[in-house]
Amino acid sequence: MLTLKLISEETEHVIKGLQKKHFDGAREAIEKVLEYDKLRREAQQKLDTNKQQQNQLAKQIGSLMKDGKKSEAEDIKNKVAELKAADKALNEIMDKAQSDMTEVLLSIPNIPNNDVPEGKDANDNVVVKEGGIKPNLPDDAPCHWDLLKKYNLVDFDLGVKITGAGFPIYLGKMARFQRALEAFFLDEARKSGYLEVQPPYVVNEASGYGTGQLPDKEGQMYHANLDNLFLIPTAEVPVTNIFRDVILEESQLPIKRCAYSACFRREAGSYGKDVRGLNRLHQFDKVEIVRIDKPEHSYDSLKEMLAHVEGLVQKLELPYHILRLCGGDMSFTSAICYDFEVWSAAQKRWLEVSSVSNFESYQANRLKCRFRRSDTKKPELCHTLNGSALALPRIVAAIIENNQTPDGIKVPKVLVPYCGFEYLDDKNFD
């Protein structure tokens, strides 16, 4: 959530930032916030004035009663009663103005960093780095969904029977391969100084609002209506909410956490080739990295996170590129975002496998996540960051397509010690 201080002091900068993000009605929304704030402050000023008058009149009542002037004291008591009645009305005005202002603030996205390029959609994203070598496959090389069926590694139909489309069942070596990837990603995160946590897979409404999934992504989340709980779309939500309503000491920063979780997304409106096979699922596994940092250090943290994710795709020997997202393609909460995409050789297209974002103080303001500097001891908003490190389905799709051989699908060398076999196929393993 944008701070009221930022909106009040840099109004035009905020409006231009929201327009860069293609937020409809940016000026109207900001003007509403300022209008509600004015109403709240005016009511507060009147309330403060009334309190002062009541204190003064209370002293007069005591003096008059002491002098035996009961009639005059009763008149002043009536004035005090009138002021208290006015206080009630002013408090109601303040509460409504605050509630209305908060509702508008929650609907306003974060503003982009100055380094974010202009643009409307994914076509305007900027490639900032490329790596790896694309494999040369025959034009008729099968895509991963055909290979998965050939080697009996994933059963999509059985998943439909049990749950529905987008909930595949992993079999035999593929189930072991999934666990190998998860363990590899968690080990690499631990080596980079991230403390592993095992979070809940469902969160309450406050957690959804804290990280910005609510109200923006409410329709994309699975909702357990009876308990008003939400299945997590990413471990970012529970892990970041660990620090909701917390004041940290400067010496504790940066905080680095990682977590494996299943992720649940409704993906409403998805169709066509983008949802075939493992390209887009309703349930998938992912390892997430999260950082809480000081404002002046958060962009150094972002660079370290990008380097960490790049190291993962390099070790998996996948061709990749890194995109800096344009204003129109960024998430609701991010101030800057980089996407990692790996090359899927049989599909002949890039697949997104990670987003690494700096939210600056936007999430922290919603979370009330603050820190005290060692010199001033005054609480300030932290900066929060997160990244996929990594999401499994499209990584698996790219590995399967890029590494297909007549003998089966060759497992990247770095994963062999984790899974215990060199080829993904339908043969048994010990």
Listed by start position, the domains of the chain span 4-106, 122-424
> DSSP secondary-structure letter at 164?
-
CB 381 within 8 A of CB 361: yes
More confident residue, 43 or 377: 43
Give residues with Cβ within 8 angstroms of 121, minimum separation 6: 326, 328, 329
Domain 4-106 in this protein, CATH class: mainly alpha
* Fold matches, 4-106 and 122-424: no
Answer yes or no: is pLDDT of 233 > 70: yes
Structure tokens at 24: 């409809």
Answer yes or no: is pLDDT of 372 > 60: yes
CB 411 within 8 A of CB 176: no
- Enclosing H/E stretch for 56: helix 26-66
Name the CATH superfamily housing domain 122-424.
Bira Bifunctional Protein; Domain 2 (3.30.930.10)
Over residues 351-362, the mean pLDDT reads 98
Q: What is the CA radius of gyration of the chain?
A: 28
pLDDT on residue 270: 54
Structure tokens at 47: 């309330």
Decide the pairing of beta strands 255-264 and 195-196.
Answer: parallel
pLDDT on residue 236: 97
More confident residue, 426 or 386: 386
